[in-house]
Structure 1
Amino acid sequence: RVEGSEEDGEAPVPVTALTTLFSYGLLFAFGHFRDFFRRILDAGKSSNLKGYAPICLGYEDFYTRRLYLRIQDCFGRPIASAPDAWFDVVERHSNDGNKTLQRTTKTSKCLNLGSYNYLGFAAADEYCTPRVIESLKKYSASTCSARVDGGNTKLHTELEELVARFVGKPAAILFGMGYVTNSAIIPILIGKGGLIVSDSLNHISIVNGARGSGATVRVFQHNNPAHLEDVLREQIAGGQPRTHRPWKKIIVIVEGIYSMEGELCNLPEIMAVCKKYKAYTYLDEAHSIGAVGKTGRGVCELLGVDPADVDIMMGTFTKSFGSCGGYIAASKEIIHHLKHACPAHIYATSMSPPAVQQVISAIKVVLGEDGSNRGISGRI
């Protein structure tokens, strides 16, 4: 019997792929067909935007008009409750073919399948919520300032120390957004004359950070240590483009859990390759920190990798901890450099104090420091 056959109760993958592509192709063809006749009907009409370049170009504009607008009522629905396992979704209606949507006073109870709320901390929690409310009363909703000016409270310092202890690194630094943590940090760590070797399925924040760094970027096959070694060997042998000088720095960037695939990183094998070729390692644990490992400390704990061997450990607070923002944990020297050189730390508004308190409380529950055994027993 062939695994994945109809005898197993599953439709063959090629059939699913073909029917999906056929449906998409049908919509694509009808959309272009309607656009063709629209251009004929509007040929004699003058445009007030003559001479202006269109804001949306080509396929982006076509996709929005002919595909997304037809189904947008299925997505981005406003919610009227906490983002728990079940939540209330506001019902909407349209009078113009989904170009605009109007909210109604009706709500529907729905199963939440579109949330990062892995451990349930984004809803009311017996330990976290009272402390967050207390911090809101004490510190207000925002610092309205960057960390280096008036945006640094003792909560921010406490969370940095707690994160460093939690992930097993000497120091840490906070940022107000997970996406910015990658896109703003990578250009500070490496620049022209450096080499970034990135997993082919890394998140767009990593991709944009690598592109903005000015370093040379090479991609290795997803989760393939053997191909990573081939890329490193080839690049080290060839050196920098044109000059063939040795690379100033080499950083290999991977994710702990790849968000769209749900696959764990082959971290032990990748670390062995990086050590062999003296490459720095950058580990994005946005989707793994707090969620995997015996005590929630991420893929290093799960796969038996010493955090001291990972040079840069990145993570976010938006998934397991029910808050916002991100962090970088590394050596004291690296964190000191980031605090003095990273624009996202120097110029951006610091994390909201209640959001910081939420993360502190959530981590303490995971560690069992809340006075209960919820985190240790996994009954969060």
Structure 2
Amino acid sequence: MFLSWRTSNTTRCLNLGSYNYLGFAAADEYCTPRVIESLKKYSASTCSVRVDGGTTKFHNELEELPARFVGKLAAILFGMGYVTNSAIIPCLIGKGGLIISDSLNHNSIVNGARGSGATVRVFQHNSPAHLEEVLREQIAGGQPRTHRPWKRIIVIVEGIYSMEGELCKLPEIIVVSKKYKAYTYLDEAHSIGAVGQSGRGVCELLGVDLADVDIMMGTFTKSFGSCGGYIAASKVHTTESAQKLARIRENSNFFRSELKKMGFEVLGDNDSPVMPIMLYNPAKIPAFSRECLRQKVAVVTVAFPATPLLLARARICISASHTREDLIKALDVISRVGDLVGIKYFPAEPPKIAGADHDKLE
């Protein structure tokens, strides 16, 4: 028998650790009533696998939605995001095939690649130049022992790398993949719904033709506030809340900019709602997270083995549902805790006085 230990106290906190990028998982005025209505009408489960009577018209309708949204011909649903990668990759490639994977790809991709039976090679994180070097070397050598040409080559990257907050250099990756006739597999778990003018991910944000990405993976568990994942492979248009998308971009860029001004080392790119604050020393993790929690700001900290031993970090996730007051409160708490723990590795910018004439102040 397993017992869970709980405190007797309940603390209401500002949540900076959730993947609820668009705020749909909260009490959303559009989604929440429809979820409740659907649960009352159709129940929570079919209690059966899809091949054995578990497929309903709603599964088929739901598969059409992400396919249309990302401009592909069809999509397949999965019960969870992790399973999407780990289950579909062995279906796409096997023995005699070559997978070239970014060195910081998610563990679900790593496990899927291992289970495929294909040869796996890794290229330096977000480096199109090293990707080309690996591709050239592997194509020249061919399959192990027989040196026959590869049956299929798939390059796997992520839209936003969740531990780094970085955007994929997708345009350059696609140029290299096309040059060597490799398929491109894009994991948009953290980018679909969160970036791009209409939320269609890094392709839209970076101006990449959707047709140039062969396989698109995404999840419903983050921006869309639900569960499950999908694979879309191969154009129509769907609508998305432009207001929420504008708000998450504004919130993310404001928060990132203010953290840097305070002297924190923040990884990642503008427009990314994921922003790691570097702690480095693992010993700082409990002090930072507990002190933030004591001041009613909940953050997620990440350390080895998810990151290298001396690259511990706090991973902040911004949502469209955060108000400016929420963000200012969080920044104030994080700044004070950062001073206490000693993780401001750069000089802070002096505060600007609204309406002051800087020439007269000198």
Structure-1-length-normalised TM-score: 0.62
* 2:21 matches 1:148: no
Classify the secondary structure of the residue corresponding to 2:12.
Answer: strand
Matched residue type, 1:127: Y
Correspondence for 1:184 among 83, 87, 94: 87
Residue pair 2:71, 2:234 contacting (<8 A) in 1 also: no
Which consecutive residues of structure 2, in runs of 5 or more, have no partner in the other structure?
Answer: 248-319, 322-362
Q: Who is 1:135 aligned against? A: 38
Q: 2 CA distance for matches of 1:314 and 1:101?
A: 35
* 2:270 matches 1:367: no
Matched residue type, 1:140: S
Summarize the Cα distance change of 1:323–1:259 in structure 2 as closer, same or farther, 3 Å threshold: same
Correspondence for 2:210 among 307, 321, 341: 307
Q: 1 CA distance for matches of 2:15 and 2:130?
A: 38
Q: Who is 1:125 aligned against? A: 28
Q: 2 CA distance for matches of 1:101 and 1:320?
A: 29
Summarize the Cα distance change of 1:100–1:139 in structure 2 as closer, same or farther, 3 Å threshold: closer
Q: Who is 1:278 aligned against? A: 181
Q: 2 CA distance for matches of 1:225 and 1:250?
A: 16
Residue pair 2:188, 2:201 contacting (<8 A) in 1 also: yes
Tell me the CA shift for residue 138 of structure 1.
Answer: 1.4
Matched residue type, 1:111: L
Q: 1 CA distance for matches of 2:147 and 2:245?
A: 53
Q: 2 CA distance for matches of 1:143 and 1:114?
A: 32
More helix by share: 1
Tell me the CA shift for residue 375 of structure 1.
Answer: 4.5
1:133-158, Cα deviation, whole Å (9 max, x unpaired) = 11101111111111222222222212
Q: Who is 1:233 aligned against? A: 136
Q: 2 CA distance for matches of 1:318 and 1:274?
A: 29
Q: Who is 1:208 aligned against? A: 111
Larger Rg: 1
Classify the secondary structure of the residue corresponding to 1:109.
Answer: coil
Classify the secondary structure of the residue corresponding to 2:28.
Answer: coil
**RMSD of aligned alpha carbons:** 2.1
Q: 2 CA distance for matches of 1:312 and 1:305?
A: 14
Tell me the CA shift for residue 243 of structure 1.
Answer: 0.5
* 2:86 matches 1:195: no
Residue pair 2:195, 2:245 contacting (<8 A) in 1 also: no
* 2:318 matches 1:318: no
Q: 1 CA distance for matches of 2:76 and 2:108?
A: 18
Q: Who is 2:253 aligned against? A: none
1:220-279, Cα deviation, whole Å (9 max, x unpaired) = 000000000000000000000110000000000000000100100000000000000000
Q: Who is 1:60 aligned against? A: none
Q: 2 CA distance for matches of 1:166 and 1:210?
A: 27
Matched residue type, 1:142: S
Tell me the CA shift for residue 311 of structure 1.
Answer: 0.6
Q: Where do 4+ consecutive residues of structure 1 move more than 2 Å?
A: 99-106, 373-380
**How many residues are aligned here?**
247
Aligned residue runs from structure 1 range 7-22, under 5 A = none
Q: 1 CA distance for matches of 2:246 and 2:19?
A: 21
Matched residue type, 1:298: G
Q: Who is 2:146 aligned against? A: 243
Correspondence for 2:62 among 147, 155, 159: 159
Q: Who is 1:291 aligned against? A: 194
The alignment-based identity, stated in percent, is: 84
Tell me the CA shift for residue 377 of structure 1.
Answer: 5.4
Of residues 157-166 and 143-152 in structure 1, the stretch that sits farther from structure 2 once superposed is 143-152
Q: Who is 1:336 aligned against? A: none
* 2:234 matches 1:331: yes
Matched residue type, 1:206: I
Structure-2-length-normalised TM-score: 0.65
* 2:141 matches 1:268: no
Q: 2 CA distance for matches of 1:184 and 1:272?
A: 27
